[in-house]
Amino acid sequence: MQDLKNKIQSKQIKIGVIGLGYVGLPLACEFAKADVEVLGFDISSEKVDLVNKGISYIQDVKTKDLEKLSTSGKLKATTNFSLLSSVDVISICVPTPLRKTKDPDMSYIAASIESVKTSLRKGHIIILESTTYPGTTDEVILPKLEETGLKVGEDFYLAFSPERVDPGNETYHTHNTPKVLGGVTSDCTSLCEAVYKLAIDNLVLVSSARSAELVKIYENTFRSVNIALANEMVTICNKLDIDVWEVIDAAATKPFGFMPFYPGPGLGGHCIPIDPSYLSWKLKSLDYDARFISLADNVNSGMPELVVQKISNALNGNKKSVNGSKILIAGIAYKANINDMRESPAIPIIQKLIALGATVSFHDSLNPMYKDNNDVVLQSVELSPATLKDQDCVVIVTNHKDMSIETIVSNAALVVDTRNATRGYSDTNIIKL
Protein backbone atom coordinates (compact mmCIF):
# COMPACT_ATOMS: atom_id res chain seq x y z
CA MET A 1 0.00 0.00 0.00
CA GLN A 2 2.83 2.40 0.79
CA ASP A 3 4.23 1.97 -2.72
CA LEU A 4 0.82 2.92 -4.13
CA LYS A 5 0.62 5.96 -1.85
CA ASN A 6 4.11 7.05 -2.94
CA LYS A 7 3.03 6.69 -6.55
CA ILE A 8 0.02 8.92 -5.88
CA GLN A 9 2.00 11.57 -4.03
CA SER A 10 4.57 11.75 -6.83
CA LYS A 11 1.71 12.14 -9.34
CA GLN A 12 2.77 9.03 -11.23
CA ILE A 13 -0.84 7.98 -11.63
CA LYS A 14 -3.55 8.29 -14.22
CA ILE A 15 -7.05 9.26 -13.14
CA GLY A 16 -10.20 8.21 -14.95
CA VAL A 17 -13.43 10.18 -14.51
CA ILE A 18 -16.67 8.49 -15.60
CA GLY A 19 -19.32 11.07 -16.51
CA LEU A 20 -18.24 14.44 -17.91
CA GLY A 21 -21.14 16.56 -16.71
CA TYR A 22 -21.55 19.28 -14.08
CA VAL A 23 -19.54 17.23 -11.56
CA GLY A 24 -17.16 15.14 -13.61
CA LEU A 25 -15.72 17.73 -15.98
CA PRO A 26 -14.78 20.29 -13.28
CA LEU A 27 -13.22 17.48 -11.21
CA ALA A 28 -11.25 16.20 -14.20
CA CYS A 29 -10.02 19.73 -14.88
CA GLU A 30 -8.84 20.21 -11.28
CA PHE A 31 -6.76 17.04 -11.38
CA ALA A 32 -5.33 18.01 -14.76
CA LYS A 33 -4.47 21.48 -13.44
CA ALA A 34 -2.60 19.72 -10.62
CA ASP A 35 -0.37 18.13 -13.29
CA VAL A 36 -2.02 14.71 -13.11
CA GLU A 37 -2.88 12.82 -16.28
CA VAL A 38 -6.65 12.45 -16.64
CA LEU A 39 -8.80 10.40 -18.99
CA GLY A 40 -12.50 11.25 -19.04
CA PHE A 41 -15.15 8.69 -19.99
CA ASP A 42 -18.63 9.43 -21.27
CA ILE A 43 -21.27 7.69 -23.37
CA SER A 44 -21.85 10.96 -25.25
CA SER A 45 -19.54 11.21 -28.25
CA GLU A 46 -20.51 14.88 -28.53
CA LYS A 47 -19.17 15.68 -25.05
CA VAL A 48 -16.03 13.64 -25.67
CA ASP A 49 -15.35 15.46 -28.93
CA LEU A 50 -15.83 18.86 -27.28
CA VAL A 51 -13.45 17.99 -24.42
CA ASN A 52 -10.80 16.78 -26.86
CA LYS A 53 -11.20 20.01 -28.84
CA GLY A 54 -10.94 22.09 -25.65
CA ILE A 55 -14.45 23.50 -25.92
CA SER A 56 -16.39 23.75 -22.67
CA TYR A 57 -20.12 23.02 -22.42
CA ILE A 58 -20.19 23.52 -18.63
CA GLN A 59 -20.62 27.07 -17.34
CA ASP A 60 -18.17 26.60 -14.44
CA VAL A 61 -15.39 25.42 -16.77
CA LYS A 62 -13.88 28.14 -18.93
CA THR A 63 -13.10 27.17 -22.52
CA LYS A 64 -9.66 28.82 -22.32
CA ASP A 65 -8.77 26.59 -19.35
CA LEU A 66 -10.13 23.42 -20.97
CA GLU A 67 -8.33 24.21 -24.21
CA LYS A 68 -5.04 24.58 -22.35
CA LEU A 69 -5.49 21.27 -20.54
CA SER A 70 -6.52 19.47 -23.71
CA THR A 71 -3.65 20.89 -25.74
CA SER A 72 -1.13 19.92 -23.06
CA GLY A 73 -2.36 16.33 -23.16
CA LYS A 74 -3.15 16.31 -19.43
CA LEU A 75 -6.87 15.86 -20.10
CA LYS A 76 -8.30 13.60 -22.77
CA ALA A 77 -11.69 11.98 -23.19
CA THR A 78 -13.05 8.79 -24.72
CA THR A 79 -16.19 6.74 -25.18
CA ASN A 80 -14.14 3.52 -24.99
CA PHE A 81 -14.75 2.19 -21.48
CA SER A 82 -12.34 -0.72 -21.99
CA LEU A 83 -9.60 1.87 -21.40
CA LEU A 84 -10.55 1.91 -17.70
CA SER A 85 -7.90 -0.77 -17.27
CA SER A 86 -5.26 1.83 -18.20
CA VAL A 87 -6.06 4.21 -15.31
CA ASP A 88 -5.11 3.86 -11.64
CA VAL A 89 -8.00 5.79 -10.07
CA ILE A 90 -11.61 5.71 -11.23
CA SER A 91 -14.00 8.46 -10.09
CA ILE A 92 -17.65 7.79 -10.90
CA CYS A 93 -19.64 11.01 -11.47
CA VAL A 94 -22.78 9.86 -13.24
CA PRO A 95 -26.37 11.09 -12.82
CA THR A 96 -28.65 9.57 -10.17
CA PRO A 97 -32.17 10.70 -11.09
CA LEU A 98 -35.48 9.59 -9.62
CA ARG A 99 -38.09 7.55 -11.40
CA LYS A 100 -41.62 8.95 -11.65
CA THR A 101 -42.46 6.89 -8.57
CA LYS A 102 -39.63 8.73 -6.73
CA ASP A 103 -37.61 5.53 -6.44
CA PRO A 104 -33.86 5.82 -7.14
CA ASP A 105 -32.79 5.20 -10.72
CA MET A 106 -29.50 3.39 -10.23
CA SER A 107 -29.06 2.46 -13.89
CA TYR A 108 -26.19 4.89 -14.55
CA ILE A 109 -24.25 3.73 -11.50
CA ALA A 110 -24.97 0.08 -12.36
CA ALA A 111 -23.70 0.52 -15.92
CA SER A 112 -20.55 2.25 -14.67
CA ILE A 113 -19.85 -0.49 -12.15
CA GLU A 114 -20.21 -3.16 -14.83
CA SER A 115 -17.59 -1.33 -16.90
CA VAL A 116 -15.31 -0.99 -13.86
CA LYS A 117 -15.78 -4.64 -12.94
CA THR A 118 -14.69 -5.74 -16.41
CA SER A 119 -11.46 -3.74 -16.10
CA LEU A 120 -10.79 -4.15 -12.36
CA ARG A 121 -7.23 -5.07 -11.41
CA LYS A 122 -4.99 -5.07 -8.37
CA GLY A 123 -4.14 -1.57 -7.15
CA HIS A 124 -7.25 0.05 -8.57
CA ILE A 125 -8.81 2.86 -6.53
CA ILE A 126 -12.56 3.35 -7.08
CA ILE A 127 -14.39 6.43 -5.78
CA LEU A 128 -18.11 7.02 -6.18
CA GLU A 129 -19.16 10.69 -6.25
CA SER A 130 -22.73 10.29 -7.50
CA THR A 131 -25.30 11.13 -4.84
CA THR A 132 -27.08 8.03 -3.62
CA TYR A 133 -28.74 6.43 -0.61
CA PRO A 134 -26.72 5.26 2.43
CA GLY A 135 -25.46 1.74 1.85
CA THR A 136 -24.98 1.90 -1.92
CA THR A 137 -21.19 1.61 -1.81
CA ASP A 138 -21.18 -1.29 0.69
CA GLU A 139 -24.30 -3.13 -0.42
CA VAL A 140 -24.39 -2.63 -4.19
CA ILE A 141 -20.95 -1.70 -5.52
CA LEU A 142 -18.67 -3.71 -3.25
CA PRO A 143 -20.31 -7.14 -3.83
CA LYS A 144 -20.24 -6.56 -7.59
CA LEU A 145 -16.53 -5.73 -7.60
CA GLU A 146 -15.64 -8.62 -5.29
CA GLU A 147 -17.30 -11.03 -7.73
CA THR A 148 -13.99 -10.71 -9.62
CA GLY A 149 -12.22 -12.51 -6.76
CA LEU A 150 -10.35 -9.38 -5.75
CA LYS A 151 -10.71 -8.20 -2.15
CA VAL A 152 -11.39 -4.66 -1.01
CA GLY A 153 -8.67 -3.12 1.15
CA GLU A 154 -6.16 -5.65 -0.16
CA ASP A 155 -6.39 -5.83 -3.95
CA PHE A 156 -8.48 -2.75 -4.71
CA TYR A 157 -9.70 0.26 -2.74
CA LEU A 158 -13.21 1.69 -2.61
CA ALA A 159 -14.65 4.89 -1.14
CA PHE A 160 -17.49 7.38 -1.41
CA SER A 161 -16.91 11.12 -1.68
CA PRO A 162 -20.03 13.14 -2.46
CA GLU A 163 -19.91 15.93 -4.99
CA ARG A 164 -20.49 19.44 -3.72
CA VAL A 165 -21.13 21.52 -6.81
CA ASP A 166 -22.94 24.85 -6.77
CA PRO A 167 -23.26 25.95 -10.42
CA GLY A 168 -22.52 29.61 -10.93
CA ASN A 169 -20.92 30.12 -7.51
CA GLU A 170 -18.13 32.63 -8.02
CA THR A 171 -16.46 31.93 -4.67
CA TYR A 172 -16.53 28.19 -4.11
CA HIS A 173 -15.36 25.81 -6.79
CA THR A 174 -14.32 22.16 -6.85
CA HIS A 175 -10.82 22.77 -5.50
CA ASN A 176 -11.71 25.02 -2.53
CA THR A 177 -14.96 23.43 -1.37
CA PRO A 178 -14.28 21.09 1.60
CA LYS A 179 -14.70 17.50 0.40
CA VAL A 180 -16.15 14.71 2.54
CA LEU A 181 -14.59 11.26 2.15
CA GLY A 182 -15.32 7.86 3.65
CA GLY A 183 -13.70 4.58 2.65
CA VAL A 184 -14.92 1.01 3.00
CA THR A 185 -11.75 0.31 5.02
CA SER A 186 -9.22 2.59 6.70
CA ASP A 187 -6.70 1.87 3.95
CA CYS A 188 -9.31 2.82 1.36
CA THR A 189 -9.82 6.15 3.12
CA SER A 190 -6.09 6.79 3.39
CA LEU A 191 -5.35 6.14 -0.28
CA CYS A 192 -8.34 8.12 -1.53
CA GLU A 193 -7.32 10.98 0.75
CA ALA A 194 -3.90 10.98 -0.93
CA VAL A 195 -5.59 11.11 -4.35
CA TYR A 196 -7.84 14.06 -3.53
CA LYS A 197 -5.05 15.97 -1.79
CA LEU A 198 -3.50 16.39 -5.23
CA ALA A 199 -6.29 18.75 -6.28
CA ILE A 200 -8.57 19.60 -3.33
CA ASP A 201 -7.66 22.13 -0.63
CA ASN A 202 -9.53 20.65 2.33
CA LEU A 203 -10.71 17.10 3.03
CA VAL A 204 -13.15 16.03 5.73
CA LEU A 205 -12.72 12.36 6.64
CA VAL A 206 -15.59 10.34 8.09
CA SER A 207 -15.63 6.81 9.46
CA SER A 208 -17.28 5.00 6.56
CA ALA A 209 -18.65 5.24 3.05
CA ARG A 210 -22.13 4.92 4.53
CA SER A 211 -21.59 8.03 6.68
CA ALA A 212 -20.27 9.98 3.69
CA GLU A 213 -23.35 8.99 1.70
CA LEU A 214 -25.66 10.26 4.43
CA VAL A 215 -23.71 13.53 4.84
CA LYS A 216 -24.56 14.54 1.28
CA ILE A 217 -28.24 13.69 1.61
CA TYR A 218 -28.51 15.37 5.01
CA GLU A 219 -27.03 18.59 3.60
CA ASN A 220 -29.69 18.80 0.92
CA THR A 221 -32.51 17.53 3.14
CA PHE A 222 -31.65 20.37 5.55
CA ARG A 223 -32.10 22.85 2.72
CA SER A 224 -35.24 21.19 1.40
CA VAL A 225 -36.98 21.20 4.79
CA ASN A 226 -36.07 24.81 5.56
CA ILE A 227 -37.04 26.03 2.10
CA ALA A 228 -40.36 24.23 2.58
CA LEU A 229 -40.91 26.17 5.82
CA ALA A 230 -40.20 29.43 3.97
CA ASN A 231 -42.57 28.38 1.20
CA GLU A 232 -45.31 27.55 3.69
CA MET A 233 -44.79 30.99 5.24
CA VAL A 234 -45.95 32.40 1.90
CA THR A 235 -49.42 30.93 2.42
CA ILE A 236 -49.44 31.92 6.07
CA CYS A 237 -48.47 35.51 5.29
CA ASN A 238 -50.96 35.72 2.44
CA LYS A 239 -53.77 34.73 4.81
CA LEU A 240 -52.57 37.27 7.39
CA ASP A 241 -51.96 39.98 4.78
CA ILE A 242 -48.30 40.30 5.77
CA ASP A 243 -45.25 40.63 3.49
CA VAL A 244 -43.35 37.32 3.81
CA TRP A 245 -40.09 38.91 2.59
CA GLU A 246 -40.27 41.60 5.27
CA VAL A 247 -40.79 38.95 7.95
CA ILE A 248 -37.86 36.79 6.84
CA ASP A 249 -35.47 39.71 6.42
CA ALA A 250 -36.36 41.08 9.85
CA ALA A 251 -35.91 37.65 11.45
CA ALA A 252 -32.52 37.36 9.74
CA THR A 253 -31.20 40.28 11.78
CA LYS A 254 -31.08 37.98 14.82
CA PRO A 255 -27.35 37.23 15.26
CA PHE A 256 -27.91 33.75 16.67
CA GLY A 257 -30.31 30.84 16.33
CA PHE A 258 -31.70 31.79 12.91
CA MET A 259 -30.62 31.19 9.33
CA PRO A 260 -32.68 32.80 6.53
CA PHE A 261 -34.20 30.67 3.80
CA TYR A 262 -36.32 32.26 1.12
CA PRO A 263 -39.46 31.15 -0.70
CA GLY A 264 -39.64 30.69 -4.43
CA PRO A 265 -41.57 29.12 -7.30
CA GLY A 266 -40.29 25.63 -6.47
CA LEU A 267 -37.08 23.66 -6.12
CA GLY A 268 -34.64 23.11 -8.95
CA GLY A 269 -31.29 21.57 -9.79
CA HIS A 270 -30.17 17.99 -9.50
CA CYS A 271 -29.70 17.88 -5.71
CA ILE A 272 -32.34 19.47 -3.49
CA PRO A 273 -35.48 18.23 -5.29
CA ILE A 274 -34.07 14.69 -5.58
CA ASP A 275 -31.61 13.74 -2.82
CA PRO A 276 -34.05 13.71 0.13
CA SER A 277 -36.22 11.20 -1.74
CA TYR A 278 -33.25 8.82 -1.86
CA LEU A 279 -33.13 8.83 1.93
CA SER A 280 -36.91 8.54 2.23
CA TRP A 281 -36.89 5.53 -0.12
CA LYS A 282 -34.12 3.82 1.84
CA LEU A 283 -35.91 4.33 5.15
CA LYS A 284 -39.14 2.85 3.78
CA SER A 285 -37.22 -0.40 3.31
CA LEU A 286 -36.41 -0.21 7.02
CA ASP A 287 -40.09 0.31 7.91
CA TYR A 288 -39.66 3.97 8.79
CA ASP A 289 -41.59 6.93 7.41
CA ALA A 290 -39.42 10.04 7.09
CA ARG A 291 -42.33 12.41 7.68
CA PHE A 292 -40.35 15.68 7.55
CA ILE A 293 -38.93 14.75 4.14
CA SER A 294 -42.34 13.81 2.74
CA LEU A 295 -43.99 16.95 4.08
CA ALA A 296 -41.24 19.19 2.72
CA ASP A 297 -41.50 17.50 -0.67
CA ASN A 298 -45.27 18.06 -0.72
CA VAL A 299 -44.89 21.77 0.09
CA ASN A 300 -42.04 22.41 -2.33
CA SER A 301 -43.51 20.43 -5.23
CA GLY A 302 -46.77 22.36 -4.83
CA MET A 303 -45.17 25.76 -5.40
CA PRO A 304 -45.50 25.79 -9.23
CA GLU A 305 -49.25 25.23 -8.81
CA LEU A 306 -49.37 28.08 -6.28
CA VAL A 307 -47.59 30.36 -8.77
CA VAL A 308 -50.08 29.45 -11.51
CA GLN A 309 -52.93 30.21 -9.11
CA LYS A 310 -51.32 33.59 -8.35
CA ILE A 311 -51.14 34.30 -12.07
CA SER A 312 -54.76 33.28 -12.54
CA ASN A 313 -55.94 35.46 -9.65
CA ALA A 314 -53.89 38.41 -10.88
CA LEU A 315 -55.36 38.12 -14.38
CA ASN A 316 -58.85 37.80 -12.94
CA GLY A 317 -58.22 41.06 -11.11
CA ASN A 318 -57.67 42.62 -14.54
CA LYS A 319 -60.86 40.95 -15.87
CA LYS A 320 -58.90 38.41 -17.91
CA SER A 321 -58.54 34.64 -17.82
CA VAL A 322 -55.45 32.50 -18.25
CA ASN A 323 -57.08 30.99 -21.33
CA GLY A 324 -56.14 33.24 -24.23
CA SER A 325 -53.75 35.46 -22.26
CA LYS A 326 -50.21 36.18 -23.39
CA ILE A 327 -47.84 35.30 -20.54
CA LEU A 328 -44.07 35.80 -20.60
CA ILE A 329 -41.83 33.84 -18.23
CA ALA A 330 -38.74 35.82 -17.23
CA GLY A 331 -35.94 33.34 -16.50
CA ILE A 332 -36.25 29.56 -16.89
CA ALA A 333 -33.07 28.30 -15.19
CA TYR A 334 -33.57 26.87 -11.70
CA LYS A 335 -31.60 29.72 -10.14
CA ALA A 336 -30.09 33.03 -11.13
CA ASN A 337 -27.14 33.50 -13.48
CA ILE A 338 -26.71 29.90 -14.64
CA ASN A 339 -27.69 27.96 -17.76
CA ASP A 340 -28.86 24.89 -15.83
CA MET A 341 -32.52 23.97 -16.35
CA ARG A 342 -32.51 20.65 -14.48
CA GLU A 343 -35.72 20.30 -12.43
CA SER A 344 -36.41 24.03 -12.91
CA PRO A 345 -39.81 25.07 -11.54
CA ALA A 346 -40.26 27.17 -14.68
CA ILE A 347 -40.91 23.97 -16.61
CA PRO A 348 -44.07 22.82 -14.75
CA ILE A 349 -45.25 26.46 -14.60
CA ILE A 350 -44.99 26.73 -18.40
CA GLN A 351 -46.65 23.36 -18.89
CA LYS A 352 -49.55 24.21 -16.58
CA LEU A 353 -50.13 27.59 -18.25
CA ILE A 354 -50.13 26.05 -21.74
CA ALA A 355 -52.57 23.38 -20.54
CA LEU A 356 -54.86 26.18 -19.33
CA GLY A 357 -54.84 27.78 -22.77
CA ALA A 358 -52.27 30.56 -22.31
CA THR A 359 -49.94 31.70 -25.08
CA VAL A 360 -46.58 31.37 -23.35
CA SER A 361 -43.23 32.88 -24.27
CA PHE A 362 -40.04 33.28 -22.25
CA HIS A 363 -36.87 35.27 -21.88
CA ASP A 364 -33.60 33.81 -20.64
CA SER A 365 -30.26 35.09 -21.92
CA LEU A 366 -28.46 31.97 -20.71
CA ASN A 367 -31.00 29.43 -22.01
CA PRO A 368 -32.02 30.39 -25.55
CA MET A 369 -34.33 27.42 -26.12
CA TYR A 370 -36.99 25.55 -24.15
CA LYS A 371 -38.16 22.08 -25.14
CA ASP A 372 -40.23 19.73 -23.03
CA ASN A 373 -41.27 16.09 -23.24
CA ASN A 374 -44.42 17.11 -25.10
CA ASP A 375 -42.28 18.51 -27.94
CA VAL A 376 -43.21 22.08 -27.07
CA VAL A 377 -40.36 24.24 -28.39
CA LEU A 378 -39.96 27.92 -27.50
CA GLN A 379 -37.18 30.36 -28.36
CA SER A 380 -36.13 33.08 -25.95
CA VAL A 381 -37.48 36.54 -26.77
CA GLU A 382 -35.99 39.93 -25.92
CA LEU A 383 -37.27 41.89 -22.95
CA SER A 384 -37.92 44.93 -25.12
CA PRO A 385 -40.55 47.49 -24.14
CA ALA A 386 -42.63 46.48 -27.16
CA THR A 387 -42.54 42.79 -26.21
CA LEU A 388 -43.39 43.53 -22.59
CA LYS A 389 -46.30 45.81 -23.49
CA ASP A 390 -47.72 43.06 -25.69
CA GLN A 391 -48.06 40.68 -22.69
CA ASP A 392 -51.05 40.29 -20.42
CA CYS A 393 -48.71 39.13 -17.64
CA VAL A 394 -44.96 38.80 -17.02
CA VAL A 395 -43.86 36.23 -14.44
CA ILE A 396 -40.40 36.57 -12.87
CA VAL A 397 -39.30 33.00 -12.17
CA THR A 398 -35.52 33.49 -12.25
CA ASN A 399 -33.88 36.86 -11.86
CA HIS A 400 -30.66 36.87 -13.90
CA LYS A 401 -28.32 39.78 -13.17
CA ASP A 402 -28.59 41.08 -16.74
CA MET A 403 -32.39 41.24 -16.53
CA SER A 404 -33.67 44.80 -16.18
CA ILE A 405 -36.38 44.73 -13.53
CA GLU A 406 -37.02 48.41 -14.11
CA THR A 407 -37.77 47.73 -17.78
CA ILE A 408 -40.18 44.94 -16.81
CA VAL A 409 -42.02 46.99 -14.20
CA SER A 410 -42.20 50.08 -16.43
CA ASN A 411 -43.65 48.29 -19.46
CA ALA A 412 -45.59 45.24 -18.30
CA ALA A 413 -49.29 45.63 -17.57
CA LEU A 414 -49.06 42.98 -14.85
CA VAL A 415 -46.06 41.44 -13.07
CA VAL A 416 -46.13 38.33 -10.89
CA ASP A 417 -42.86 38.26 -8.94
CA THR A 418 -41.82 34.93 -7.38
CA ARG A 419 -38.31 36.03 -6.36
CA ASN A 420 -38.79 39.40 -4.64
CA ALA A 421 -36.92 40.91 -7.59
CA THR A 422 -39.20 43.96 -7.59
CA ARG A 423 -38.47 44.94 -4.01
CA GLY A 424 -38.44 48.71 -3.75
CA TYR A 425 -41.04 49.16 -6.47
CA SER A 426 -44.49 50.19 -5.26
CA ASP A 427 -46.32 49.92 -8.58
CA THR A 428 -49.86 48.59 -8.30
CA ASN A 429 -49.28 46.21 -11.22
CA ILE A 430 -46.90 44.03 -9.15
CA ILE A 431 -48.17 40.86 -7.47
CA LYS A 432 -45.70 39.21 -5.09
CA LEU A 433 -45.53 35.54 -4.22
Output DSSP code: residue 62: -
Q: How far are the Cα atoms of 31, 178, 235, 265 from residue 202, in angstroms, in the given order?
A: 14, 5, 41, 35
Give CA–CA dist 343/264, Å, rounded: 14
Give CA–CA dist 418/168, Å, rounded: 20
DSSP string, 137-180: IIIIIHHHHHTTS--BTTTBEEEE------TT-SS--TTTS-EE
Output DSSP code: residue 218: H
Exactly one of 29, 237, 271, 393 is catalytic; name it. Answer: 271
Output DSSP code: residue 320: -
271 is catalytic: yes
Contacts of residue 171, Cβ cutoff 8 Å, sequence gap at least 6: none
Output DSSP code: residue 325: -
| CA angle 18–11–123, rounded 5-degree value | 60
Query: Is there a contact between 409 and 427 (Cβ–Cβ < 8 Å)?
Result: yes
User: Could you list the active site residues?
Assistant: 271
